[in-house]
Amino acid sequence: MKTIRHPRALAIALGAASLCAVIALATINRADAKEEKAAPRPALSVTTTRPATASLPISLTANGSIAAWQDAVIGSESNGLRLNEVRVNVGDVVKKGQVLAVFADETVRADIEGARAALLEAKANALESKANADRARALESSGALSAQQVTQYVTGEQTGAARVQSAQATLTQQQLRLKYTQVTAPDSGVISARGATVGAVVGVGTELFRMIRQGRLEWRAEVTAQDLGRIKAGTRAIVRGASGLEVTGKVRVVAPSVDPQTRLALIYVDLPPALSGDMPLKAGMFASGRFELGTSNALTVPQQSIAVRDGFSYVYRLNADSRVSQLKVTTGRRLGDRVEIVGGLAADAPIVVTGAGFLNDGDLVRNIATPAVAPAKAAR
């Protein structure tokens, strides 16, 4: 026998089933929400490390200019002579005694010949005066000559000898003029300026060349009065040129006084000679550098672990509940990828390395690794 159900009963049954399904779904959602609330998800997977002690150099930075150790001015010692030849130019490396320029010497050679002839004449006259004086001294006892005449002959002998010496001095002077027609380098070095022009007639003392003696340069660093006592003669200095290349020098002397206007003192640092011409530093350059004053132990962390925000440096300490705390730190010196922490961090605090720049204070993280940092490696 077939059973016919009433449509209204069927609707009521379907509604009851739907209500049960909704209630069950809501119950499941509440359970999931409670589960999520009970176990929140980490914001990021990170690696951590602990601060390490490393030996860092103590340095003092300074600025200054590059200058020649000594400038040699090479001038003319000839007067009224024409410059025939110039053999060097700016930048040339010269040796001591090398001929740099040559003056016309025809006039000087003619004067030498005249002085030599005058010397021969003076010698001949001196021989005659000497012979007369010898005869006068021989006849002095016989009374054939008066005392006045004997004195005249003896005086003539002495005058002739003096004229020989005067003629010899004149000849020597002309020979020196001939020597001065060749301008030579007083020392080895590099020509830094040239004022000589072929065909010019110059006077005595006119500057022809300027030379950096021995090619030596120096860095004249400016330091404050309070740092002056930290630098001694012999201190090693690293000078950086405009091209970025570094040159090692040594402190030669510390200035004995401080500029009363700027309150800065000069430190003179000897640099390697520039005779090869390929030195990165040139006279007149402005250069920065640092003085190496020794080493000291310091607490360091990887540079990657420091987050810079609003002009301040922060690190993130990993707590026992896997959340991080933002710590404001003071940084100091740097060595490779290690940064000195001057204050704000305990020596045994675990800090986040990878992902530190993406964290906020209180974030939950997952620590996946803790790399070990060897003190010796950090020191290197």
**Pair 349, 51: CB distance under 8 Å:** yes
What is the per-residue pLDDT across 352-362, written as a single tens digit (0 to 9) for each?
A: 998 888 888 88
Enter the tokens of residue 70: 């000594």
Q: At what angle do helices 106-139 and 147-180 cross, to 10 degrees?
A: 160
144: pLDDT strictly greater than 80? no
Contact 288, 59 (CB under 8 A): no
**What is the pLDDT at residue 187?**
92
Report pLDDT for 229.
85
Which domains, and CATH codes, for the chain?
A: 44-56+296-379 (2.40.420.20), 61-69+217-295 (2.40.30.170), 72-104+181-215 (2.40.50.100), 105-180 (1.10.287)
What's the pLDDT tens digit per position in 318-332?
998 889 999 999 998
Q: Which pLDDT belongs to residue 10?
A: 56
Instruction: Write the pLDDT tens digit of every residue in 261-289.
Output: 988 999 999 998 866 556 678 888 899 99
Helices (H) and strands (E) in the chain, counts: 4, 21
Question: Using one digit for the tens of pLDDT, what is the confidence trace for 91-105?
Answer: 899 999 999 999 999
Instruction: Please give the model's pTM, rounded to 2 decimal places.
Output: 0.65
pLDDT-based confidence at residue 375 (cuts at 50, 70, 90): very low
Q: Is the pLDDT of residue 9 over 60?
A: no
Q: Assess contact for 303 and 356: CB atoms under 8 A.
A: no
- Contact yes or no for 233/268 (Cβ under 8 A): no
Nearest-angstrom CA–CA distance, 193 and 373? 56
pLDDT confidence band for 171 (50 / 70 / 90): very high
What is the per-residue pLDDT for 378? 40
Higher pLDDT, 223 or 136: 223
In this predicted model, what pLDDT tens digit does every residue of 70-86 receive, in sequence order?
999 999 988 889 999 99
The burial class, CB within 10 Å (0-12 / 13-18 / 19+), for 185 is buried
What sections of the chain are H helices per DSSP? 7-38, 106-139, 147-180, 375-379
* Per-residue tokens: 240: 């950086």
CA distance 188 to 215: 8
Calculate mean pLDDT across residues 123-130.
90
Which conformational region is residue 13 in: left (phi greater than 0), alpha (psi within -120 to 50 degrees), or beta? alpha
Residue 127: strand, helix, or coil: helix
Is pLDDT of 20 > 90? Answer: no
Quick one: pLDDT at residue 347? 87
Cα(336)–Cα(348) distance, rounded to whole angstroms? Answer: 22
Instruction: Give the per-residue pLDDT at 118.
Output: 93
Return the sign of the alpha-carbon dihedral for residues 203, 186, 88, 277: negative
Q: State yes or no: pLDDT of 223 exceeds 90.
A: yes
Mean pLDDT for the chain overall: 84
More confident residue, 108 or 141: 108
Residue 128 has pLDDT above 80, yes or no: yes
Q: Does the pLDDT of residue 7 top 60, yes or no? A: no
pLDDT confidence of residue 6:
54
Given a cut of 60, whether residue 24 has pLDDT beyond it is: no
Locate all alpha helices (DSSP H) within 140-274, ordered by sequence.
Answer: 147-180
Residue 22: band (very low, low, confident or very high) from pLDDT cuts 50, 70, 90: low
Output the pLDDT for position 2: 44
Q: At 46, is the secondary structure helix, strand, or coil?
A: strand
Are 50 and 378 contacting, i.e. CB atoms less than 8 angstroms apart? no
